[in-house]
Chains A and B, each alone.
Chain A
């Protein structure tokens, strides 16, 4: 039985108010914990905190399983639970020193014209993604962004939250979410520029 089968069964049983067998629970945990830990780590940047967040998320999943009722895809629901738990953990832990990203943001001259680096020839994402270790490089670059920008980028561009969902989760205005998102993308673009230009990392 693959994990989609387990998911479908779990969704069906939840809809009928029934529960999974212990074997099915084991299967569910072993197949979903990997991506859940990945999502928690992207937000928390810390393995131990991410593991704690996943553990608490599963506790909530078990306790709220009866309320799930199979109305959405099981994985979508579990994803929201673990991301919310990671965000709660992030609020509790002491934040690292936040540095400025001003040096990574676009520059304009007095006339409002863009001032950019020379030789800015973009490559296509398809070409970039075929390069070895690109994903590791991108992840490391994202991890260097200050939390106030990184979390918005994670929620919007990686975890699939909408602007409204992100503003609610982070208690920010929608306008603020958009500003932070844009700055995060612009700063990340600068960090990835050598890669986007096709230079060897």
Chain B
């Protein structure tokens, strides 16, 4: 089954709710995510973001997966070359670096 065929159909009630005052739709929510995670949203934006988050299960699930992805990415930070499955640091490189010091 293709990705498109597997998607859920539109949600007319949710769409109506998201058009109410002080509400944002999922697309606007999406645009706020980076600033939300860095705590850079204004008070007004934060209220709208939190309200949408409370009402939209899809965006809650999305944000949770997004955060899980970030955690998995951050876990790459401490992985040295020797743990990347391509062998150790070549001796030639270490010798060349030391030779350049002399």
Query: What residues of A have a CB within 8 angstroms of the CB of B33 in the complex?
Result: 182
Q: How far is the CB of A150 from chain B (nearest CB, A)?
A: 11
Q: Interface majority SS on B: helix, strand, loop or mixed?
A: helix
- Shortest Cβ distance from A157 into chain B, in angstroms? 4
Binary CB contact string for chain A from 180 to 197 against chain B (1 if under 8 A, 0 otherwise) = 011001101100110110
Give the residues from 121 to 148 in chain A that come closer than 8 angstroms, CB to CB, to chain B: 121-125, 128-129, 134-136, 138-139, 142
For chain A, the bracket of interface size reads: 35 or more
A138 adjacent to B75 (CB under 8 Å): yes
Contacts of A142 in B (CB 8 A): 73, 76
> Could you give, for residues 59-77 of chain B, a 1 whenever the CB lies within 8 Å of some chain A CB and a 0 otherwise?
1011011111111111111
Binds B, one of A8-16, A29-37, A66-74, A165-173: A29-37
A113 close to B86 (CB less than 8 A): no
On whether the beta carbons of A118 and B10 are closer than 8 Å, the reply is no
- Smallest CB-CB separation from B60: which chain A residue? A122
Task: Judge whether A188 and B69 touch: CB under 8 Å.
Answer: yes
B-side contacts of A135, CB under 8 Å: 75-76, 79, 83
Smallest Cβ distance from A45 to chain B, in angstroms? 11
Query: A138–B61 Cα gap in the complex (Å)?
Result: 20
* Cβ contact within 8 Å between A122 and B73: no
A136-B85 CB under 8 A given contacts A129-B72, A178-B34: yes
Are B8 and A38 interface neighbours, CB within 8 A? no
Q: Once the chains bind, are A35 and B80 in contact (CB under 8 Å)?
A: yes
Chain B residues whose C-beta falls within 8 Å of the C-beta of A113 in the assembled complex = 10-11, 14-15, 18, 25-26, 58
Roughly how many angstroms separate A163 CA and B40 CA in the complex, as a whole number?
12
Q: B98 near A: Cβ within 8 Å?
A: yes
Kindly state the separation between the CA atoms of A192 and B73 in the bound complex, as whole angstroms.
10
Minimum CB–CB distance from B26 to chain A (whole Å) comes to 4
Check if B50 is an interface residue, CB within 8 A of chain A. Answer: no
The answer to whether A116 and B8 touch (CB under 8 A), given A139-B84, A186-B66, A192-B72, is: yes
Docked-complex contact A62 and B58, CB < 8 angstroms = no
The verdict on A149 contacting chain B, using a C-beta distance below 8 Å, is no
User: Known: A29-B98, A111-B10. Is A38-B72 also a contact (CB below 8 A)?
Assistant: no
